[in-house]
Amino acid sequence: MIDDDGYFGESVAATYDESSAAMFAPETVEPAVDVLAELAGEGRALELGVGTGRIALPLARRGVGVHGIELSRAMADRLRAKPGGEAIGVTIGDFSTARAPGTFSVGYLVFNTIMNLTTQDAQVDCFRTVAGHLEPGGTFVVEVMVPELRKLPPGQNTVPFHVGTDRLGFDTYDVATQAMASHHVKVTEDGEGSFRSIPFRYVWPAELDLMARLAGMRLRDRWEDWGRRPFTADSPKHVSVWEKPAD
């Protein structure tokens, strides 16, 4: 059942940090924070889908003012309960349309969160919303996977991403609509099982560039990762930076 928190209600929020532990590792977090702190400069940062504060909290510790937009009250409550969380303002709402107070030097979406918007219209709205928050010369940063369609032979629509003795994860793709879903199966020691499925919409780099142009922004940089390695045809994801004109 989907509640007012979408797919990230209390049952997910309670174990989110532990289930995504690898994404909280310093070697994963710090390069992202380095880039975002540089782009923020003396200004403020807006995180869309701020979650439990994986990026927002260490960015704030760098002296950057951070405000988040988050649909899930349960996730936002986890953020506020952490040391330093009370200093990060949170607007509860859909980040494709919600308005946060003030303006910002940088807006950002990390860890494939742009794909939580499951229609192209919503993704376009997100770019326009961020552009409306940015100061002249401000930037919008998105970290997102490159769709793994090359792993799909004709007639197959499923790609496993984790196969273990107690957990199974796989993605399903609809190449006609760009709809996809991540499915998670867990089995406990006593044989009890659980299943969770989350819908997404995958999106191509060139498609994102067009969304940015519709919002009045232009591509400034694109890398394979936060370490700024070159983006190539074999890159599994990209970190892209679009800029709002300074004038």
Same domain, residue pair 131 and 219: yes
Q: Are residues 77 and 154 in the same domain?
A: no
Position 23 confidence tier, pLDDT thresholds 50, 70, 90: confident
SS3 state of residue 161: strand
Of 25-29, 37-41, 142-146, 219-223, the least confident: 25-29
pLDDT at 247: 78
Q: Say if residue 128's pLDDT is above 70.
A: yes
> Is 186 part of any domain?
yes
Phi, psi angle pair for 228, to nearest 5°: 65, 30
Q: Find the domain containing 52 and state its range.
A: 10-147+203-243
The domain tally of the chain equals: 2
User: Percent of the chain, pLDDT > 90?
Assistant: 79
Q: Is residue 57 part of a domain?
A: yes
**4 domain-assigned:** no
Model pLDDT, residue 2: 47
The answer on pLDDT for 24 being more than 80 is no
The pTM (predicted TM-score) of the whole model is: 0.90
pLDDT at 6 over 60: no
- Please indicate, yes or no, if residue 49 is contained in any of the structural domains: yes
53-110 pLDDT, tens per residue?
999 999 999 999 999 999 999 999 999 999 999 999 999 999 999 999 999 999 999 9
Q: Name residues whose C-beta falls within 8 Å of residue 8's C-beta, 6 or more positions apart in sequence.
A: 16, 51, 71, 72, 74, 75
- pLDDT tens for residues 156-198? 999 998 898 888 999 999 999 999 999 989 887 777 888 889 9
152 phi, psi to nearest 5 deg:
-100, 110
Residues 25 and 65 in one domain: yes
pLDDT of residue 209: 98
For the segment 115-132, the average pLDDT, to the nearest whole number, is 98
- One-letter amino acid for residue 7 of the chain: Y
Task: State the Cα–Cα distance between residues 218 and 156, nearest whole angstrom.
Answer: 36
| Residue recorded with tokens 């044989």 | 191
Per-residue confidence at 13, pLDDT binned at 50, 70, 90? low
Mean pLDDT, range 144-149, rounded to an integer? 94
- Kindly state whether residues 188 and 97 are assigned to the same domain: no
Record the tokens describing residue 24, joined without a space.
């909280």
**Are 76 and 192 members of one domain?**
no
- 2 within domain boundaries: no
Residue 1: pLDDT over 70: no
Q: What is the pLDDT of residue 187?
A: 85
